[in-house]
Homo-oligomer: A and B are copies of this chain.
Amino acid sequence: MKKLIKVMKALSDPGRVKMVKMLAVKEMCVCEIQAALELSQPTISKHLKVLEEAGLVASRKDKLWVNYNLTDGDDSTYARDVLEKMSTWLEKDPEIKTLKKKLKKISRDNLKKC
């Protein structure tokens, strides 16, 4: 039950939902996510932690960067099922579409400062 609640709560925030939709496209570091959404760096970090603790997202260090990606949902049935649904949900949502376009132009290399 607790795990289900964590998954649901994790996806109860627009910012976190956007992050999941973005990470479905590609692995991203915190500063890239920050450039896509307009939230402060600590806020991004906090949200990512919530997603991580719900078993939806995992991180991998690469030198100075921490790359985040979606898990395959092996943490729980809930995580797996919901991630599967998330891959179809919001595909036609205008806000998400715009976000995905924006994503193409974002790379850690063209971010002067993270």
Contact = CB atoms under 8 A, between A and B. Distances in A.
A1 B93 contact: yes
A21 to B, nearest CB: 10
A17 B14 CA distance: 21
Size category of the binding interface on chain A = 20 to 34
Question: How many identical chains are in the complex?
Answer: 2
A85 interface: yes
A81 B77 contact: no
A5 B14 contact: yes
Contacts of A109: none
A90 interface: yes
Contact of A17 (B5, B13, B85, B93): B5
A89 B11 contact: no
Contacts of A11: 4-5, 8
